[in-house]
Amino acid sequence: MTQTRLEPGDAAPDFTLPDSEGEATSLESFRGKRVILYFYPAAMTPGCTKQACDFRDSLASLTAAGFVVLGVSKDNPQKLAKFAERDALTFPLLSDPELAVHQAYGAYGEKTMYGRTTVGVLRSTFVIDADGKVEKALYNVKATGHVARLRKDLGLA
């Protein structure tokens, strides 16, 4: 199974996905802003909750620095709405049940867990510049401590 891997300088694949309210959200609508796009395996699981809450807790400073945060998972909009409500998540959570956007970004494929190779969502984060180009492509990130590392990499720590 070959996987797409994006590199800095690549054009970020455009997409339109429903958010937790079922409203269409497209990457193109954020041109002129820097976007932090992160892919996570499943809403309301411990690691994904930790990561989402870290983004929530950093949102004010990220927004002040000109960033928009978008989270993407294969969960349906109803589950995303529950996740957002339960954890007071105030940034868009997008639903990609067909995994097309995951695959376009290389955020779905083979991974090793507990010594076994499986196929699934690769926890990944992309920083996309105001012109729609990839600034950073981070694959297989850890849920815990990732946002702090990302803030440091972006000069916001």
Supply 65's token pair: 């620095």
pLDDT digits (tens, 9 = 90+) for 76-116: 999 999 999 999 999 999 999 999 999 999 999 988 878 89
Our CA angle for 93, 25, 29, nearest 5°, is 125
pTM: 0.95
| pLDDT beyond 80 at 3 | no
Contact indicator for 8, 134 with CB cutoff of 8 Å: yes
Q: How far apart are CA 154 and CA 81, in angstroms?
A: 29
Q: Of residues 65 and 157, which shows the higher confidence score?
A: 65
Contact indicator for 67, 36 with CB cutoff of 8 Å: yes
- Nearest C-alpha neighbor of 142 from the set 57, 47, 56: 47
Contact indicator for 111, 118 with CB cutoff of 8 Å: yes
For the segment 16-27, the average pLDDT, to the nearest whole number, is 97
Q: How far apart are CA 108 and CA 127, in angstroms?
A: 18
pLDDT digits (tens, 9 = 90+) for 39-64: 999 999 999 999 999 999 999 999 99
Supply 113's token pair: 């867990």
Supply 16's token pair: 């339109």
Task: Give the model's pLDDT for residue 1.
Answer: 47
- Nearest C-alpha neighbor of 75 from the set 104, 123, 39, 105: 39
For the segment 61-72, the average pLDDT, to the nearest whole number, is 96
Task: Give the model's pLDDT for residue 147.
Answer: 95
* pLDDT-based confidence at residue 2 (cuts at 50, 70, 90): low
| pLDDT beyond 60 at 17 | yes
Q: How far apart are CA 51 and CA 33, in angstroms?
A: 22
DSSP 20: T
Q: Of residues 2 and 156, which shows the higher confidence score?
A: 156
Task: Give the model's pLDDT for residue 70.
Answer: 98
Active centre residues (catalytic): 48
